[in-house]
Structure formats: structure tokens, C-alpha cells
Amino acid sequence: MRGWFAACLLALCLCWGGALAAEVGVEGVKYFSHHNSALGESLHTLSYTFNITNGVWNRLNGGTARDFYFSRADCWEVDLRDSAQGGVDSSFADNVDLFFLCTHGNNTGDSIYLAYDAQQTEWHSNSTRWKLGDGDLEWLALYACRTLPVSSVDRTCNHFFYGLHMVLGSHDSLWDSWTTEECGRDFAQNLKDGDRVADAWLDGLSDWWCDQNALVASAERADTWGGDLTRTTMARDHWHGRGEVCSDIPHSQVYWYRVALID
Amino acid sequence: MRMRTTGLLAVGLLLLAVSLPSAVIRRPAARPQITRPPLVSRLAGQAELRAKIVQAVKAARPFQAGEAIPVYRLAPVTRDQVAARAMELANRMLPTLGCRPLAAADLAADDDYLLAKPSGSVKVRAYLPSGFISVMDQDRVFQGKCAPLSEQQGAAVALAFIKEQNLVRLLPGERLTSAGCRRISTFGVRAEDGQRQEPTLSSLVVLVGRELAGRPVIGPGGRVVVFLGGKGEVVGLQRNWREVLPGSAAKVQALSLEVVVDRVMKELTALGGGKLPPAGSVVVERAECGYLAGGKHVTQAFLQPAYALHVVMRVEQGPQLARVVIVPAGDKLLEPLVSGPGEAKGVIRPSAKPEPGGDE
């Protein structure tokens, strides 16, 4: 009888722990030799990529079956692309709570450009083919340059916010340097400390020596437009098990984006 | 017979005369096409980039070649000292943030780091490797409202606060400097039509630097960062300030400008996989010459002289790479100046790609 009780208690604890455990997917591209050879480009090595991605993985990997960490040519653009458009997001980026990617970035024509070192099936991303949050994803974190220029946040985000809570990116350069190699671990530690997700990004990326240009954009409902900002996604979202997390906002109900940035 | 022989000789001589010039002036076979840029233009590009780097380093007020530069020893920090200093600093600031004082038991340890959340949105952190301490009201720093202060006003408030609160201990020859400001702001933009709200300044971030023996302390470790909110109140503070022991630990000889520039060029070449980037794409945003102090996770025993160049490679569409190139300024190092990059701890991807649309 006692044994049964202990077993039930253990099972309950495991279930409860599983419910609280957040899933994380991490990808990092450091070398671009295949990309450069194929396209005749000259993307530079991002020397500290793995310091950043290891920092996130080491702190947030909860050992769930969905967690993954891929590097180099194992990072593919289809991981973010919508399944209906030939992608596999429902198995990777949109199958975890936080997807963190470190690579070269840019924004052209209101689409986020991310460079990859494997052609699976393209050499770079096109965010007009993303549909994020219709699966599990809440937070998309991109340690890459100029993914969200201030002037095109809305037009860029309109393409892919399908239940996604927040995109954590940049409005200009993010630095690849000895002094910013700690950004990944600081961001992850902030999440674990119970900081708001947006604050965790802005604080985690800042060493106040390199001019880091962090930016966060969150999906918001119509009733908070010009109203009570304490009820916004940006003000309420925390890492699972460390505070409040908002419910998903369907694509059709995303009325505005709240933007926070450092410049 | 004689006539015949003479005739043949004449024909032979004629043939020889005709064939000789063609043998002498025969064209060499055509060479294969060279597609790479001519050497002259490559050298010109290299010279242009070098000139750019030289100009940037000169603007940073470099050391004179052969000059004896003192290297300073830093006071080691123990866990107890860091905890005590965090408590002291936090308890000086917490009343102004409307918080109760911190007790020693409030600081919980996690890895190389102490954390306390005394109340509301106030967060206190201390890092054991460096002695870095942060006390911040997260609500007011990231989501509050700040009056539109000028950088000069902000710097004046921050410097006065540091002095009043006795936040840093300065040795003779040390002084505080203003290192500019950054801003944390928020705004809303409507999805349907892009209508944008006026941005709200959440906090003004005042960067206060440090100068030692007439040289700046460069890197994230030479900073007190003061966050201003409301009408100009201090709503957060980060101090990464390693204490210098009096007297120099050693002296190193300054490298010449040529050697420093060579090292920077070498670093830039390595980034491009053995190729120098085109001079036109390289923008040196900032160049500094001083004593390098690392971030909060770095244990450091010495303050050593170095150059730091904040370089952005830009292509037409925007920045492509932003990198701080750090090279030593002296002929020897007492400890490594920077740590090298790491390798991935990731797993190998399963070879089979999942079918599109699959859940598992």
C-alpha cells in the first residue's frame, strides 16, 4: 500500500514537472564555407557563435524529448519554414517554447534574412514563409544583425505571428566578440531568475561597452492599444514555471506590436 | 652542271632568308586568362584598408613605440567579499527604490552568481569571478517612464550619485569619465496600417567610464552604468569595477604602430577565411587604446594595455559582421588578454529529414 502511494506520488511529480518543463531548440552557425563556395559570397566566420549558443543550451535544456541543439551545417532554414510551405517547423522551431538561433542576419523587403551553411532546402531563410506559434513556439530569439529594423517591424512581423508571443532580435548590429560571448548565458539566466522575457533579452545582450542594438516585438490585442500596458504580452510573459505566461493571440487578433529597444 | 648547282644554292638561300624572320618573331602561345584582380589593385585595396586602420589607431592616442607601460595588479575577490559588497551597495540603494534592506540570507547562490529579489521588481545580482554588482528596478528600467533628459544632465546626475553614495574607490591617478548614454524605449505600431505611437523613453542609461594613469579602462569591466527614470531618479545601477592595487606589477614595452596595425590586419584576414575584406566595406566605429577589463564572468589578475577596434563590415543591405578586434599594446602579456572562442556542444542532427507536416 505504501509502495503504491509512493509510486503514485512519484508519477504525479513527474507529470507536474513535465507540465512545467519548457522546451528549447538551439541552432548556431559559425562557419560559412559551403555557403560562400556555392553562392560566391564572403560571409565571415562568427567566432563566438558557440559560446553564445552553449550558454543558452546549458542553462535552459530541460532534457525533454523535444529539446534540440544543432550546429554548423546541421542548421537548416526549413526548421523555421511552415510545414504547408515545404518546411518542417512543426518538428523543430514550432515544436518548442523557445527557439534560439545565432547566425548572420539582415532584413530585406520586410523579410528576415538568416544565412545557413547547408542548402536544406535554401541557403537562407525567407520569413514570409514562416507561420510561427500555430504549433508550440512562444518566443523566437535571433542573435543576428538587423533582423528587425525599426521602420519595418510591423510589416516583417505580420508575415509570421500566428500565435507567436514575441520575437527577440535586433534593429542594427549585434556584436560577435569576446565581450559578448556571455550574452547567451546571461539571457538564459535572466529567464531562469524569473525576469520578463523581453527584459531578459534587453539586459542579457547588453554589456554596455559594445553598442548592442537589441529589439523585442510582442503581439498584442486591440484592448491594450493606447490602454493599460501592464496587460500587454511584453509586460506579462515569463519563462514557463517562473511567472505568468500569456495565452496565444491568433493571427487574426494581433492588433498591434509592442516594441522595446536599446539605441 | 655548274649552272644547276648555282641555281639550287640560290633557291636554298632564298628559302632560308624567307623562313628566318618568321622563326625569330614567332608569337608566344596565348596565356590562360587571369580572373583574379590585378596585383596592383589588390595591393591598393590592402593599402587603403591599412590606411584606414592606421588612421583609427592614431585617433585612439596610441602608446609611443618602446614606451614603458605599467601593468597593474588587481585585488583578488573572495566570495564573502563579493557578497558583503553586494549587500552594502544594495542596502544603500534599496531605500531609494522603496525596498526593505537585504539580509545576508537573501542572497542565493547559483553557479558563479548570487541573486536576491527583495521585493517587487527589484533584482540584485553579484558575480563572483569579477565582483560585478547590479541593483535594478526592472519595471522602471525596462518599462517605466523617464523625462527627456539631455546626455549632459544625465551624466551630471549619475556622477553626483556615484560621489554621494561613495560607490567607487579611486586611487591617485584614477578618475571617472563620461562614456556617453544609451536609451531604452518602447512604442506601439499597429499591425493593419503601421500607425505608430510616439516612443516612450523608459530609462536613460548613463555610462560612466574610468581612467587610470591618463589612459581609459576599456572593455565592459571599466564601467559604472546608471539607469535614470522618472524625473531623473536613479532606478538601477551596475558596477563592474575591479579594484587596482597601488603601484605597478610590471612594465611592458609598447609595440610600434606598424606592429599593432599588422596584428589588426591579421585578425581581419582570419575573419575572412584568409582573405582581407574590401576596404570599402570596413567601418571602424570606435578605436580605443587603454587598459582592458573583461565582463562579469571573467576572472582577471591584471589590467594590461591593449587596443580595441569596433569594426563593422557593411554591405549594401546593412551590417554583415560586427566585431571588436582586441590586440595587445605591449610586447608581453602577464595573462591571456582574451579567451578564445569555443566549440559547439550540440548534438549531431538525425540524418533523415522529417517529412513536412509531421508532428514527431
Contacts of B37 in chain A (CB under 8 A): none
If asked whether residues B253 and B209 sit together in one domain, one would say no
User: What is the SS3 string spanning chain B?
Assistant: CHHHHHHHHHHHHHHHHHHHHHHHCCCCCCCCCCCCCCHHHHHHHHHHHHHHHHHHHHHCCCCCCCCEEEEEEECCCCHHHHHHHHHHHHHHHHHHHCCCCCCHHHCEEECCEEEECCCCCEEEEEECCCCCEEEEEHHHHHHCCECCCCHHHHHHHHHHHHHHCCCCCCCCCEEEEEEEEEEEEEEEEECCCCCECCCEEEEEEEEEEEEECCEEEECCCEEEEEEEEECCEEEEEEEEECCEEEEEEEEEEECCHHHHHHHHHHHHHHHCCCCCCCHHHEEEEEEEEEEECCCCCCCCCEEEEEEEEEEEEEECCEEEEEEEEEEECECCCCCCCCCCCCCCCCCCCCCCCCCCCCCC
A238 falls within a domain: yes
B341 falls within a domain: no
Q: What value of ipTM does the predicted structure carry?
A: 0.92
Per-residue pLDDT, averaged over B234-257, amounts to 94
A206 falls within a domain: yes
Domain that holds residue B303: 45-71+248-328
Check CB contact under 8 Å for A181 and B341: yes
More confident residue, B22 or A23: A23
Q: How confident is the model at residue B19 (pLDDT cuts 50, 70, 90)?
A: very low
B342 falls within a domain: no
Contact B342, A49 (CB under 8 A): no
* Average pLDDT in chain A: 91
Q: How confident is the model at residue B9 (pLDDT cuts 50, 70, 90)?
A: low
B36 falls within a domain: no
Report the percentage of chain B scoring pLDDT > 90: 61
- What the block records as the C-alpha cell of A69 is 541543439
Q: How confident is the model at residue B340 (pLDDT cuts 50, 70, 90)?
A: confident
Please give the pLDDT value at position A13: 42
Contacts of B347 in chain A (CB under 8 A): 68-70
The CATH number of whichever domain residue A92 belongs to comes to 3.40.50
Q: Tell me, yes or no, if B129 comes closer than 8 A to chain A by beta carbon.
A: no
* Average pLDDT in chain B: 85
Contacts of B141 in chain A (CB under 8 A): 199
What is the spatial distance between Cα A233 and Cα A200, in angstroms, rounded to a whole number? 14
Q: Tell me, yes or no, if B123 comes closer than 8 A to chain A by beta carbon.
A: yes
Report whether pLDDT(A22) > 70.
yes
Measure CB to CB from residue B317 to each of A46, A70, A108 and give the nearest one: A108
Measure CB to CB from residue A256 to each of B190, B219, B359 and give the nearest one: B190
If asked whether residues B50 and B111 sit together in one domain, one would say no
Measure CB to CB from residue A70 to each of B205, B277, B346 and give the nearest one: B346
Q: Is A20 helix (H, G, I), strand (E, B) or coil?
A: helix
Q: How far is CA A161 from CA A219, A223, B344, B356, in A?
A: 7, 18, 30, 20
B1 falls within a domain: no
- Considering only A205-219, B135-149, B319-333, which range has the smallest mean pLDDT? B319-333
Query: Element (H or E) spanning A202, and its range?
Result: helix A197-204
If asked whether residues B285 and B136 sit together in one domain, one would say no
A66 falls within a domain: yes
If asked whether residues B91 and B180 sit together in one domain, one would say yes
Angle ∠(A132,A201,B144) on CA atoms, nearest 5: 110
Domain that holds residue A96: 24-261
Whose CA is closest to B221, among A182, A207, A180, A202? A207
Q: How confident is the model at residue B97 (pLDDT cuts 50, 70, 90)?
A: confident
A12 falls within a domain: no
If asked whether residues B303 and B289 sit together in one domain, one would say yes
Please give the pLDDT value at position A10: 44
If asked whether residues B252 and B304 sit together in one domain, one would say yes
- What the block records as the C-alpha cell of B311 is 569594426
Report whether pLDDT(B36) > 80.
no
If asked whether residues B89 and B213 sit together in one domain, one would say yes
Check CB contact under 8 Å for B339 and A84: no
B270 falls within a domain: yes
Counted domains in chain B: 2
If asked whether residues B90 and B49 sit together in one domain, one would say no
A111 falls within a domain: yes
If asked whether residues B255 and B236 sit together in one domain, one would say no
Q: Tell me, yes or no, if A213 comes closer than 8 A to chain B by beta carbon.
A: no
Check CB contact under 8 Å for A259 and B189: yes
Per-residue pLDDT, averaged over A123-131, amounts to 96
Listed in sequence order, the residues at least 6 apart from A222 whose beta carbon sits closer than 8 Å to its beta carbon are: A253, A255, A256
B352 falls within a domain: no
B43-74 confidence digits (pLDDT tens): 667 899 999 999 999 999 999 999 999 999 99
Q: How confident is the model at residue A210 (pLDDT cuts 50, 70, 90)?
A: very high
Pairs across A and B, CB distance < 8 A: 229
A15 falls within a domain: no
Check CB contact under 8 Å for A208 and B187: no
A155-199 confidence digits (pLDDT tens): 999 999 999 999 999 999 999 988 899 999 999 999 999 999 999
Q: Tell me, yes or no, if B194 comes closer than 8 A to chain A by beta carbon.
A: yes
CA distance B186 to chain A (A): 4
**Residue ranges of B 161-190 with Cβ closer than 8 A to chain A:** 182-190
CA distance B16 to chain A (A): 55
Q: How confident is the model at residue A17 (pLDDT cuts 50, 70, 90)?
A: very low
Measure CB to CB from residue B184 to each of A68, A175, A262 and give the nearest one: A262
Q: Tell me, yes or no, if A99 comes closer than 8 A to chain B by beta carbon.
A: no
Interface test with A, best of B139, B151, B189 (most A CBs within 10 A): B189
